[in-house]
Amino acid sequence: MVSYVGVLLYGVGGIVVAGMALLVAFQEKLVYVPVLPGLTKSYPVTPARLRLLYEDVWLRSSDGVRLHAWFIKVLPESRGPTVLFFQENAGNIAHRLEMVRIMIQRLQCNVFMLSYRGYGASDGYPSQHGITKDAQAALDHLSQRTDIDTSRIVVFGRSLGGAVGALLTKNNPDKVAALILENTFTSILDMAGVILPFLKWFIGGTSSKGPKLLNFLVRSPWSTIDVVGQIKQPILFLSGLQDEMVPPFHMQMLYGKAAAHNRECVFVDFPNGMHMDTWLAGGDHYWRTTQQFLEKHVPEIKEHDSSHDDKGTFIVYEDTVYLRKTT
């Protein structure tokens, strides 16, 4: 009897060890899915198919990886807000074009869509360290452009893109005006137990009560819960309550952590919103909420008068006079 129990325990232990080994070896393939099953890595459509005004942008990350992006403008000479758009973990930027088309129409904004390394036409292989560099390269590019208002750059991220965007926003308080998070997780460490329930006994984030014995093995923790409380800029949280991938309480936890340190946080939930379609299920309410957030935190500064001196242009906005320095 004892020998049978011993064999059983050894067998179970072997399966667990083998499972952990596979998880360690292939974790990037679980977190990053540049190619959806049955599809190719290339873009199925381009913005031209949707009759959007765009340019192909090629960048180099700080470690030399060649990156591709689309910069889509609402108008050729638009000085409206520019949204730096970070996608989820699966597919490529072409799969988000319909949502972006509506975003441009409703918000009258420009949108910069970055392909992470290993995604779409970008070179390399995805990792947290690498994608963090990619996001910074995209923001640096936008900050140096002369055809946009660089004081009105807003970061938008959904799911994995929210983790990317939160870290970028925290690291660049002088370049990012505001942040929009949609259906974002607290951390990959917490998501491990959601995707594979047995892992919650071994892997977990700061909110987990488990022993966290294997956290050190996770190469892409994306701990947004540890980042969001350090963000100084305004944050809009958009949460789909029917999210079938990221439990909605993750967004509530992120909001709670941020709002404890930042008074410019807004949380809005959408009862019928799922992980990928909250923007669609939310309808007009979704877009009005986002528009009001932008109007408040990245307003258009209108030059009502041509008052000049040798130091710059005087600008009037909401009865306050500002001096825009001449460069």
What is this structure's pTM?
0.86
Token duo for residue 146: 């002369």
Give the number of C-alpha atoms closer than 13 A to the C-alpha of residue 69, restricted to the C-beta side.
27
Q: Residue 42 domain-assigned? A: no
pLDDT of residue 210: 67
Number of structural domains, the chain?
A: 2
**57 shares its domain with 21:** no
pLDDT of residue 22: 57
User: 231: how many CB neighbours lie within 10 A of its CB?
Assistant: 24
pLDDT of residue 220: 87
173: CB partners within 8 A, 6+ apart: 232, 233
Q: Residue 6 domain-assigned? A: yes
Q: What pLDDT digit, counting tens, does each position of 57-78 carry?
A: 999 999 999 999 999 999 988 8
**171 shares its domain with 24:** no
User: 297: how many CB neighbours lie within 10 A of its CB?
Assistant: 19
**265 shares its domain with 147:** yes
Q: Residue 200 domain-assigned? A: no
First to last CA, the chain: 85
Q: Residue 248 domain-assigned? A: yes
Q: What pLDDT digit, counting tens, does each position of 154-195 carry?
A: 999 999 999 999 999 999 999 999 999 999 999 988 887 777
Token duo for residue 91: 């597919």
**89 shares its domain with 123:** yes
Q: Residue 325 domain-assigned? A: no
**243 shares its domain with 115:** yes
Owner of token pair 């919650």:
200
Q: Residue 144 domain-assigned? A: yes
**98 shares its domain with 24:** no
Cβ-in-10-Å burial (0-12, 13-18, 19+) of 259 comes to middle
**128 shares its domain with 263:** yes
**22 shares its domain with 72:** no
Catalytic residue annotation: 159, 243, 275
- State the pairing for strand pair 312-317/320-325: antiparallel
Expressed as residue numbers, the domain containing 21 is 1-31
Token duo for residue 291: 């528009």
Token duo for residue 161: 């893109």
Residue 148 sits in a domain whose CATH number is 3.40.50.1820
**226 shares its domain with 151:** yes
**113 shares its domain with 5:** no
pLDDT of residue 7: 55
- Which residues of the chain carry a pLDDT beneath 70? 1-26, 206-210, 303-327
Q: Residue 211 domain-assigned? A: no
pLDDT of residue 217: 76
pLDDT of residue 306: 42
**90 shares its domain with 12:** no
Q: Residue 304 domain-assigned? A: no
